[in-house]
Amino acid sequence: MALNLIMLGPPGAGKGTQAERFARTRGIPKISTGDILREAVHTHTEIGTRAKAIMDRGELVSDDVMIGIVKERLDRSDALAGFVLDGFPRTVTQASALDDIMTGRDPLIVVDIVVPEAELVRRLASRLICEDCGANAAMAGADGDAADAMVMPGANPAASETVAAVRAAAEPQRCRRCGGRLVQRSDDNDLVVRERLKVYQRQYEPLVEYYRGRPTFRSIDGAQPPDNVAADLHAAIEAAGGNGAIGARGVRAARSGVRS
Ligand code: AP5
Ligand code: MG
């Protein structure tokens, strides 16, 4: 049975971090809509050029564009044996389109990563990514997990200059994966983070409501060390039937969205 996993959660919840780890251990592709858009921005495609301004305001790219991108990606052969989707769906319209795309395929397992807002703001203010390959500093290895966990003494999340911006300017670091420069993500400044969190809150309830009744929906606590979150994620996937344990009734219910 293919493991088709969706990671839900607010900005900074750790979707990308956990998706990357999980996809690597399972040998299935990690499909991150944020990464796809950032790559499109980086390579100046038409979609990238249009998306950049929207992303830099912390708003959502249109459903039509996002559904088109995901459909094309999920139809590629490497995704037929399973995938981890990070950052999609974000709206009920996207979720419904995803169900259509998944017709005839194994059910979606939906894991919602829950983290308090203060912790999200702290994480995003101190995140650095590689400007070339897009890896998180923690994944890229430069200064490792310590860098991501670090908060500068006296750092004020309300200040316009974030911890990451100050750090990137003061002590330039390189990505251990590709040698690229580590920089702050363009939408990680304080004002845009607040907008992203607001946008997320608006979409969250209806989206989670869309999935909550499915036997393959689980919530996990993301405010723990990454290894613990990874362990909870594995347990949640197993409990949701992700190791082939889901029965025929569960599969039917999961596919149709029937509440149990
Ligand atoms: P996207 O790139 O998806 O951003 P996001 O949802 O705001 O989430 P982040 O990537 O910021 O956080 P994450 O949950 O992946 O956390 P991470 O693992 O990096 O989207 C960007 C933009 O693209 C959107 O705003 C929108 O404009 C557009 N877009 C994308 N998809 C779209 C869609 N479907 N529809 C419309 N528009 C779309 O972790 C964050 C930090 O915390 C890292 O530094 C990490 O090392 C650290 N960390 C992770 N886990 C832990 C832990 N357990 N403890 C301590 N630190 C941790
Ligand atoms: Mg991410």
Residues in the chain: 260
* pLDDT the model gives residue 138: 66
Q: What's the average model confidence in pLDDT over 246-252?
A: 41
Q: Could you tell me what percent of the chain has a pLDDT over 90?
A: 73
Q: What's the average model confidence in pLDDT over 232-256?
A: 66
**For ligand 1, mutation pick of 7, 8, 15, 119 (most atoms within 8 Å of CB):** 15
Entry pTM: 0.87
Check pocket membership of 139 for ligand 1, CB cut-off 6 A. Answer: no
**For ligand 1, mutation pick of 31, 61, 117 (most atoms within 8 Å of CB):** 61
* pLDDT the model gives residue 135: 86
* pLDDT the model gives residue 143: 42
Q: Assess whether the previous peptide bond of 172 is cis (omega < 30° from 0).
A: no
Distance in Å, CA 87 to ligand 2 centroid: 7
* pLDDT the model gives residue 168: 64
Residue recorded with tokens 């009744």? 213
Among residues 8, 65, 59, 17, which one has the least CA distance to residue 194? 59
Cα angle 237, 255, 219; round to 5: 35
pLDDT tens digits for 152-199? 323 344 445 666 666 666 667 889 889 999 999 999 999 999 999 999
Is the pLDDT higher at 1 or at 72?
72
Sign of the Cα torsion 64, 66, 70, 72 reads positive
Is the pLDDT higher at 256 or at 113?
113
* pLDDT the model gives residue 252: 44
* pLDDT the model gives residue 232: 98
Q: Is 220 helix (H, G, I), strand (E, B) or coil?
A: strand
pLDDT tens digits for 58-113? 999 999 999 999 999 999 999 999 999 999 999 999 999 999 999 999 999 999 99
CB distance 121 to 260 below 8 Å? no
Token code pair at residue 250: 């569960």
Among residues 260, 242, 200, 194, which one has the least CA distance to residue 57? 194
AA identity, residue 156 = N
222/112 Cα distance (integer angstroms)? 9
* pLDDT the model gives residue 79: 97
Residue 249 predicted with pLDDT over 60: no
CB distance 4 to 107 below 8 Å? yes
CA quadruple 136, 173, 130, 4: dihedral, nearest 10? -20
AA identity, residue 104 = G
